[in-house]
Amino acid sequence: MNNSTIGKRRIVMKLSGSIFNITNTNAESIRRYAKMLLEISNTFQPIVVTGGGKIARHYINIARSLGSDEANLDIIGIEVSRLNAKLLISALGEQVYSQVPKNLEEVAIAAASGQIVIAGGLHPGQSTNATSALIAETVKASKFLNATDVDGIYDSDPKKNRNAKLFERITIKECMEILGSESSMAGKYELIDIVALKVIERSRIPTWVLRSNVSNIKHAVNNDFKYHVGTEIVVEPTFK
């Protein structure tokens, strides 16, 4: 048991499944994130939630075409995210809790070890986003980093609108309005965010949405404000 992080403040981070979209066996992206987690663990206890990425989508697409119900597809996605968690655990040696926790109780027990904890999804019907927020709540995280494939939260879709503005800070309420206004097109991804937002709101968890890369995450962990890293979600209204 590595005790070095016992008593440290905890940071929950949701890592995009894209980190695990690997086509060789070099797995450079996983190594980089593992190195970052080891550095962070000198100061904080990282609790990580991995996404499913391409292989999850591959399995889900096949199972759906074969007639699987949607709840079962969620379970398949969760199981691939847990395989990804195992890869990250493989890269973290002695400093990591060796098992992938499978529900909130197991996350609490794992976190009590003081080691780095790597989870995948937990429950069907719950996005890894929402799951990560619940984990942040359960382990009383001092910060929740949602590392994604975009730079943060925009006032409109940046792929469609070249002038879309990236928020530095946004209130929960503003965030919900933006999600609400796009609900007809956005597919299932808003759903995720609304559940997560409600959890963030009720437990007042300091939250950042940022593009997933090692330097961004380190800046956000260290409150290094020289660098612009994504969007901070604030529970209290911002006064513009």
Report the nearest approach of its own copies to the CB of residue 63 (Å).
5
DSSP one-letter code for 48: E
Report the nearest approach of its own copies to the CB of residue 219 (Å).
26
Task: Based on the shown chain and the rule CB under 8 A, indicate whether residue 62 belongs to the binding site for its own copies.
Answer: yes
Contact 37, 46 (CB under 8 A): yes
- Token pair 């309005």 is found at 177
Q: Which ranges constitute the DSSP H helices of the chain?
A: 28-40, 53-65, 70-90, 104-111, 128-138, 172-181, 189-203, 214-221
DSSP one-letter code for 235: S
> Site for its own copies (CB under 8 A): which residue of 4, 61, 156, 222?
61
Task: Based on the shown chain and the rule CB under 8 A, indicate whether residue 214 belongs to the binding site for its own copies.
Answer: no
Query: How far is C-alpha 202 from the chain's CA centre?
Result: 18
Strands 207-211, 231-234: parallel, antiparallel or unpaired by DSSP?
Answer: antiparallel
Report the nearest approach of its own copies to the CB of residue 226 (Å).
33
Count Cα atoms within 13 angstroms, Cβ side, for 119: 29
Contact 90, 33 (CB under 8 A): no
Task: Based on the shown chain and the rule CB under 8 A, indicate whether residue 180 belongs to the binding site for its own copies.
Answer: yes
> Site for its own copies (CB under 8 A): which residue of 15, 37, 117, 130?
130
Query: Tokens at residue 124, please?
Result: 């069907």
Q: Which is nearer to its own copies, 15 or 30 (CB)?
A: 30
Task: Based on the shown chain and the rule CB under 8 A, indicate whether residue 237 belongs to the binding site for its own copies.
Answer: no
Report the nearest approach of its own copies to the CB of residue 138 (Å).
4
Q: How many residues bind its own copies (CB under 8 A)?
A: 70
Task: Based on the shown chain and the rule CB under 8 A, indicate whether residue 195 belongs to the binding site for its own copies.
Answer: yes
Residue 11: Cβ within 10 Å count: 25
Task: Based on the shown chain and the rule CB under 8 A, indicate whether residue 104 belongs to the binding site for its own copies.
Answer: yes
Q: How far apart are CA 212 and CA 224, in angstroms?
A: 16
Residues that bind its own copies (CB under 8 A): 1, 3, 6, 22, 25-27, 30-31, 34, 55, 59, 61-72, 75-76, 79-80, 82-83, 86-87, 90-91, 93, 98-99, 103-105, 108-109, 112-114, 122-126, 130-131, 133-134, 137-138, 140, 173, 176, 180, 183-184, 188, 191, 194-195, 198-199, 202-203
